[in-house]
Amino acid sequence: MKPVIYLRTASLLTLIHAVMHTIGGVFGKPDPGPQQIAVAAMKANQFPLMGATRSFWSFYMGLGLAVTIFLTIVAIVLWQLSSLAKTDACRLRPIFMTFLLAFLLLAVNSSIYFFSAPAIMELLIAICLAMATFTSRPGAAR
């Protein structure tokens, strides 16, 4: 297959990852019991920081939305790269490899600090990026 297909697949998987992160992570409802108690504590304890009053809940929401924004932008960039790969995929290999490394590191981070669903999605995206890199090398079957 051509790198374009792998990049577009990676782009769509990244967009799905962004949507699921937003629905399940950022705007997900905590279960009754310990989860609700933890969220209440995160919201209740506010502190001054760099001229503003914030809570750990503010950081949780802000960083969660930041991840959604960046995943969405990466999905768009991967789609744009797929268009460029139609004519000059070989020159884009360093960019593919950079994104590949990023998604592998995200998968490790997700498996250590979160859970398997995002890690699996990130590994699938990394596989697509690895295949895009492999199929864009000089002399690859087109």
* Distance in angstroms (rounded) separating the CA atoms of residues 14 and 128: 11
- Provide the domain limits for residue 22: 3-28+70-135
pLDDT at 1: 72
* Distance in angstroms (rounded) separating the CA atoms of residues 71 and 57: 21
Residue 45 covered by a domain: no
* Distance in angstroms (rounded) separating the CA atoms of residues 86 and 132: 11
Would you tell me the crossing angle of helices 3-20 and 116-135 to the nearest 10 degrees? 160
Residue 52 covered by a domain: no
Confidence band, pLDDT 50/70/90 cuts, at residue 60 = very high
Residue 108 covered by a domain: yes
Residue 88 covered by a domain: yes
Query: How many independent structural domains does the chain possess?
Result: 1
Q: Which amino acid is residue 56, in one-letter code?
A: F
The answer to whether the predicted template modeling score (pTM) of the entire model surpasses 0.95 is no
Residue 93 covered by a domain: yes
pLDDT at 142: 46
The sign one gets for the Cα dihedral 24, 29, 30, 36 is positive
Tally of CA atoms within 13 A in the half-sphere of 11 that contains its CB? 17
Task: List, for residues 19-50, the tens digit of each pLDDT value.
Answer: 999 999 889 999 999 999 999 999 999 999 99
Residue 35 covered by a domain: no
Assign 55 to helix, strand or coil. Answer: strand
H or E stretch at 47: strand 46-49
- Using the CB atoms, write b or e for 26-46: b if 16+ within 10 Å: beeeeeeeeeeeeeeebeeee
